[in-house]
Structures are given as C-alpha cells and as structure tokens.
Amino acid sequence: MIQFTIDGKTVSAQRGESLLKIAKEQGFRIPHLCYHEAVKPYGACRLCLVEVTRTSHGRKRTQLTTSCNYPALEGIEVVTTSERINRNRRMIIELLLARSPRARRLQDLAAEYGVEKVRFSRSDADCILCGLCVQICRDVVGVDALGFVGRGVNKDARPPFGEPSKECIACGACVETCPADCIKMEESHTMRTIVRWERSLPMRVCEDCGYPFAPTFQLMHFARQTGKPLGDFRLCPDCR
C-alpha cells in the first residue's frame, strides 16, 4: 500500500492501481467516457485528465495526464480540476462534439464545461471511437465479434468487412457499455436484434414462466465457457 494526495486529501491505495478508479472510490468526480472497470484502460477519450506532480531528486515536475491509465505512486500529488485541466477538457469536448454532435452525454458535458460552439468541421457520426464495445466483446464476453476498421477519418468500430458478424451472440454487453448510446437493441418475444451490427438471434424462453430471457446463441456460448450442458440454462435467472 502507498499514500499520495488527491486535491490535498491523503489517500491510501495499492501501488499501480488506476488513479481514476481510486478517485472514483474516494468520491472525486472526474469526467470520462471510455473507462470501464471490467477492461484495461487505455485513455481513448482523454477526458479524465488530471495534473500529477512528482518529486524527483528534490525537484517537482507537474504533468497533464489521463488518470484512467496512470498508476498510483508513492507521494504523488494529484489535482482533478484546474484552469489548465478545464481548458484541455473543453477542447476535447469540442473535438468530440464535432464528430458526434447528437451524443447526449457530450451535450451534457458541453453544457457543464461551457462549450457553446464548435469551431471544427462537423460530421454526423454517432460513434466516438472510444473502442469500449470492442474491448468488452473481446476481453469480457470472449467473443471478439468487433474490431476497428480503416484509418484516420475513415476509422470505425464494427464487425469485420462491415457484414453481420456470425460470432456475435447478441448478449447486449456493447449496448449497455456504449458511452455514446449509439448501439441500439430491439427485442421481441422471439428475437433479439443488435441494430448497429444487423445481428438478429432467436430468444430462449424460460420453461417455467415463459419469459424470453436470453438469445439461444448466448446460452450456447455460456455452456461452452462453463462446460455445463445447455439444458442447465433452460430457466431464466428468477426461476432458477
């Protein structure tokens, strides 16, 4: 365990833990879009900027860095908000808004930080390219149905070749974690569709209550992962 300060408050944490994770646990608010505790952070959205001051050989050095992938170190001083930080956050929000002007969370952040206009060329993309859906699908679900395609202004997150992925199990993890809310899901008594990936799969109906609780392909995936027979997944969580 080590000790360091966040906005003047001394905190204890495990060495190497994410600064953002520690700050959230301690009640400090740092805006972020691409961070999720289930996957390894890599600072895609850049919104979680903080100032970190380290002392080396008697000299202090302050740097602006993303807090999600910066490790907790003994004796560092972390500042979560300042004019320098807010100036950079406003620029990041403006750039993200130029790409995805309809994203509700970006609109809320723009209002909070006083971003009233966008000075850059606008596009009408709904995805902010944070890559969280790709990480969740690969590292948590274990399916790897999504990836980044193209480069530069043509970069996009989608299934390979832009076609409906046969690997997608329609679990909805990407829908739940998307910070831009651009991955939609539609569900009926018989089918679940992940609209963005054009993937529709039949639902498994609980043999007890008759509630359609998960796509059959998702349950088959769980059965393979756990080594249990598919028959063990014939009931919904409530009836089980």
Query: Where do the structural domains in the chain lie, given as residue ranges?
Result: 2-83, 132-233
229-240 burial, b if ≥16 CB within 10 A, otherwise e? Answer: eeeebebbeeee
CA-to-CA distance for 224 and 142, rounded, in angstroms?
A: 11
* Distances, alpha carbon 210 to alpha carbons 172, 205, 218, 236, 239, in Å: 21, 5, 18, 9, 10
pTM: 0.87
pLDDT band for position 5 (cuts 50, 70, 90) = very high
Alpha-carbon 198 to chain mean position:
21
Least confident of 27-31, 55-59, 174-178: 55-59
Per-residue pLDDT of 165-198, as tens digits, reads 889 999 999 999 999 999 999 999 899 999 999 9
Domain formed by 2-83, architecture: Roll (3.10)
